[in-house]
Structures are given as C-alpha cells and as structure tokens.
Structure 1
Amino acid sequence: MSGRAVLRLAGRASLEHAWLSIDRFAFAPASAAPLAALRIGLAAVLLLQAAMVAPALLELYGRSGILQGPLNEVFARSDLLRIGWLIDRLAPLGVGEESVVLGAGALYALALAALLVGWRTRAAAALAWLTHFLLMMTADSTSYGADNYANIFLFYLLWMPSGAALSLDRRRARAPQGPPATTRLSLRVVQVHLCISYLASGLAKASGEAWWNGEAVWRSVMLPGYRQVDFSWMAQHPFIPMIAGWLVILVEAGYAVLIWPRRTRRLWVAATVALHAGIAAFMGLVVFGALMAVLTVAAFGVSADPRGPAKAPPGAA
C-alpha cells in the first residue's frame, strides 16, 4: 500500500472519529430532567421577581410613572415592541393605559405559572418570552443582566423539549413518552452558553487590577446602592477582599474548563452557587443571584443520564 493511500485512510479514520465524538457530544440519548429543572427554576425565579415588582407595576411601565412618556421613549433601545405601542393601538377601543399595563403583567404571570407546571409548555414559553420582552423593552432603563439572561433562556425554552419531564404535559400524555432526540443538543446549547459567559466575565475581570487588588470587591459591598451588611471592618484587613477577588476570577475563568470533568464538576457547581448566593446576600441582587444559580444547577448539577435502556456515553454531562 502506498504512502498516499495510508495517509488517506488515516485521514478518513480521523474524520470518522471526530464525527463520532461530535455525535456523542451533541446527540447522545439524554434525560430531559435538566431542561425541566431549567424550566421550573427559571419560572420560579421570574415569578418571585414579578411578585417583587407588582406593587410598582404602573410606576415602572406606565407613561405617568417614574419615567414620563417622552423620557421613556428617549431611553428605549427599540421601537419594535413596548407597552406604549399597545396603549396607542388599544386606546380607540376604549382600553385605558392602566388596563393595558395590568393586563400585560397578569398575562406574563400566568404564562410563567403555566411554564412552571409544564402546561402547554412551548406555548407558555412563547408567551412568557414575548411578554417579558415587552416589559423589558418598556422599562429598559431599569433592566440589567438578570433580565437579559432571563429573556435569552426563555427564548431557548421555545425550542427545547423542557416539557418532556416533570410537567403536566407529560402526565397528560401531551409530551413524548421518551426524551426527544434534540434533548442532548438543547442541553449542550445551555451549557456552552454558560461557559462562554463565565469565561468572558472571568477574563474581563482578570484583565484589570480592581479584582486582583480587592478594590472591586470592596466597592461591591460598600456602595450604598448594594450595601446590605457593614463590611467597613475589611479596611483593616485588605487581604480579605483581595483573596475574594482572586476566588471570583478563579471560579469564573475556570468554569468553562473545570465544570465538565466529573471529578471537578460538583465542586465548580457548588462554588458557582456559593458565588451567586454571596451576591444575593451581600449585594441585595436576589433575582440575579438566584437566576444564575438555577442556570448552573440545571445545566450541570442535574444528571442527564437517560433512564431507559439507552445509556449515556462515559463522561457525558
């Protein structure tokens, strides 16, 4: 056999091996439990946020609220979909601004409740995403990272078979009896998204001095807008915020690598949850902390091993 033929066979074998690896990674049989955990956890956190926001619904989303109509229009990022658009369209029908705002809020809460229990799961996800986007665009000046992450993952749930487990759809035989073929791929999308997000955040923090010398941690817990506990005593022990900054960089920058191996996965899930619990407790960002913890636990903390005769390949998350 000529050398060229040997190289051709070796190349073909390498391509086949690469394809099999991709196939195992993206399409191996998987349980829908992680996607169900994502659906339930995300809906629960957003219902908590909705309950917190409900008393100020008109102030946040009405034209006569915190930001008056013209100012709200100036600060808005998009002209595509806002409550003001609905108010203008429904006004000729005799529907007032208050009814539109309260109706949008109620529709959003009902969609989240349906998503939580897995009733008409894809339709509930679509309605939750649409109403969340409507509210987020209307009060854009008050939106932050938690709202952006929530909207992205609500959009993912439109396409993912999250109702295939732990849902009313499953109990009423509306969902397939076995996990759909797209389950593993859907889980990988969530996992890769989180890895990219944490890696980018970790590298951004590592590129400056504030997280290495403790200044960023000090400011985070001492700014009046975030201060929940008196940490002024750390001024006498500057090494504490410094070490805390190093740990934050380690957890975030190491996430994309160390969350995958079975030996380090539980440790990194626990460290990430602890990080966001600290953010919730010491900075008052309860929704953000809870949301990010839910995403990591659903993506990497819930087993995706199928419960049927098909077994996941060794090392699959």
Structure 2
Amino acid sequence: MRKVTVLYTKIENFFFENKGNMEFLGFFRISIGVMVLLHFLSIISDFDNFFSSQSIVPQDIMAVFHPSWLLTFSKITSFFESVGVAEIAVIFMTKTLFITLCCTIIIGFYSRISAFLLLILQVALLKGSSFFIYGVDFFTSMSLFYLILLPSDAHFSVLRFLFKTKVREVNFMPVKRMFQIHISMAYFFSGFDKLLGYNWRNGESIWKAINLPYANRDFNFDFSWMADYSSVLIFIGWSTIVIEMLYPIFVWIPKTQKTWMVLTISMHLGIALVLNLYYFSAIMIIWNLTNFYFEKESAPVKLPVFKRWFYKKASPASI
C-alpha cells in the first residue's frame, strides 16, 4: 500500500508540481504566431487557387472527401453570398482577419481568444481543401489548440504591459506535461512506423526523398555519389529511426536531454535544407524547444547595490 501511495505521489508531482519557468509561454506564443503568419503570407498570392470557387480542384469535388457537418470556407462564402456579400469581399475579410489574429497572438493581446478564432478559420480553410494540406497544417492546428490551453499572455505580452497585470500563480505544468508526452509519442510512433517497413532500413526511402521532383530545388546539392555508397543511405535511415524511437527515453533524461534535442533539431534542419519543408521543420523545432529547452528554473536577477537598497526601502505603494 505504501508503494502505491509513493507511486501516486510521484505521478501527481510529475503532472502538477509547479516548477520550471514561464519563458516557454512567450517563446511558444511568439514563434508559433510568426511561423503561422509567414506560412500564410507565403501562399496568400495563390489564395484563390486553393480556396475560392475558382480553385484548381473544384469545391464540389473536394466536398466529397470531408463530412457534411464540417465548417469549410466554401460554406462560409456561400452563407455571405446569400446575404449579399460578394466572394471577393469575403476573401479580403478572411485574409485580413487571419493576419490580424496572427499579429495579436505574436504581441500577446488576448492570445487565447485569438488562437481559438484562428483555429476555427484555419480548420475551415484547410480541412475543406484537403488536397492541399500536409504535415505542417496538422501541427499548426495542434499548436493553436495548445495556445488556447496555455496561459500564453502571462509572460512577455502587450496585455500585461497595457493593463499592468501582475503574474498570477498559474499552474501550467499539467498542460506542459501533456504537450511533452504528446511530442514524445509522436516521435516514437513515427520511428516505429519506419521500423516496420524495409524502405527506411535499407535506405530506399532516403534515396527517394532526396530525388523527389520538388525536393532539393533551393540549394541543388549533388547526391548522385550516394548511388555508389548505399551504406550512407542505410546509416541515415537507421539514424532517423533511432533518433525518433528513442526520443521518449533520452529527451527526458537530464544528462542526455541536450544531446537528443541537438540530434532531433539537426534532423529537422536537414529536412528543411534538402526537402525544402521549411515550415514543417520550423514548427517541429519550435515544439522541441518549447517542451524541453526551458526546463530549468529562471535564476533570480541580481540587482545592483543601489537598486537593492531602493526596493528594500521603498513601499509597494510608492513603487
């Protein structure tokens, strides 16, 4: 019975003991806001080709691949058109709203509300146009969801500056632990899925990836020599499997945490440079840094002698 009690206490402390610092809140909010904004701006010139009634793939065809209850941009457009608002006006308002919500998240002005509205808008845009989405869009949705759960405005935000609000004792650890477990499981099952097949174990997947028609277009690295050194492809394939599958173990151990983060971030930098998946790599690097870089508590700031004397003598009202 005592062992059960001790185990329960450890689990409770793991999820609810308020430790670490709040800097990750500001980092996650700002970096995700900037990343989502840049991603949207990168496709804004092709917005009509993806989401309007004149899209490359007709909306009625894409409607076959999502449930009827799902809120999509085409339904939003149809609703506004029924009350006399033209599609071009709806598109302009959507672009403006998307950019505005990203900016309010970045500066920390009611970030939870902004993330909630942006999540609805993002789902309406992308889930209704499923032919054009890929991994980064799913992780963007999840990131906005975590911004809703976390008290993101509690650190380095305009909201605190404007209203001079004090930092409340908010226990963010349950959400952060859920976030950490989430990324750990994501990496493990990604690596496990690669292990089940033979394409990653024999390096075939690496060879196919670096020779995709849309890959390696920015830097044009010469990988032709790898055809004569298949062992390099096998090594890269197995390295990816090992890094991902062992992530839930070594990233939690303080002595190996930094090493495994460097390996994981290096893997994503390689994906960005070779496969040109910049936004996917960026969001995964943000997730890694958010969850495991800010683990140590912030050291107290040492004030100069004069300031220490001043704050000691001054009353709270005078300050």
Common fold: TM-score over 0.5: yes
Q: Match for residue 57 of structure 2?
A: 67
Q: TM-score, normalised by structure 2?
A: 0.88
Aligned pairs (5 A) from 1:1-317: 11=1, 13-30=2-19, 31-76=21-66, 79-173=69-163, 176-181=166-171, 183-228=172-217, 229=220, 230-303=222-295, 305=297
Structure 1: which 4+ aligned runs deviate by more than 4 Å?
173-176
Shift in Å at residue 36 of structure 1?
Answer: 2.4
CA RMSD of superposed structures (Å) = 1.9
Cα shift readout 1:250-286 (whole Å, capped 9, x = no counterpart): 1101111100111111111111111111111100111
Cα shift readout 1:130-179 (whole Å, capped 9, x = no counterpart): 11111112221111111111101211211211221121123234765144
Change over 3 Å in CA distance of 1:267–1:201 after alignment to 2:
same
2:35 aligned counterpart, secondary structure:
helix
Partners of 2:68 and 2:35 in 1: CA distance: 26
Shift in Å at residue 29 of structure 1?
Answer: 1.5
The answer (yes or no) to whether the contact 1:108–1:127 under 8 Å persists in 2 is: no
1:291 aligned counterpart, secondary structure:
helix
Give ranges in structure 1 of 5+ residues lacking alignment: 1-10, 309-317
Aligned residue type for 1:298: T
Partners of 1:268 and 1:176 in 2: CA distance: 36
The answer (yes or no) to whether the contact 2:37–2:102 under 8 Å persists in 1 is: yes
Change over 3 Å in CA distance of 1:263–1:187 after alignment to 2:
same
Partners of 1:132 and 1:307 in 2: CA distance: 38
Partners of 1:304 and 1:90 in 2: CA distance: 50
2:27 aligned counterpart, secondary structure:
helix
Partners of 1:169 and 1:78 in 2: CA distance: 39
Partners of 2:298 and 2:168 in 1: CA distance: 9
Instruction: Give the percent of matched residue pairs that are identical in Structure 1 and Structure 2.
Output: 25
Partners of 1:260 and 1:283 in 2: CA distance: 29
Change over 3 Å in CA distance of 1:155–1:104 after alignment to 2:
same
Q: TM-score, normalised by structure 1?
A: 0.88
1:149 aligned counterpart, secondary structure:
helix
- Number of residue pairs matched by the alignment: 297
Aligned residue type for 1:291: I
Give ranges in structure 2 of 5+ residues lacking alignment: 301-319
The answer (yes or no) to whether the contact 2:191–2:242 under 8 Å persists in 1 is: yes
User: Relative to structure 2, which stretch is displaced further, 18-27 or 50-59?
Assistant: 18-27
Q: Match for residue 313 of structure 1?
A: none
Partners of 2:114 and 2:60 in 1: CA distance: 33
User: Relative to structure 2, which stretch is displaced further, 77-86 or 295-304?
Assistant: 77-86
Aligned residue type for 2:34: A
Cα shift readout 1:45-69 (whole Å, capped 9, x = no counterpart): 1111011011101111101121123
Aligned residue type for 1:63: S
Change over 3 Å in CA distance of 1:307–1:96 after alignment to 2:
farther
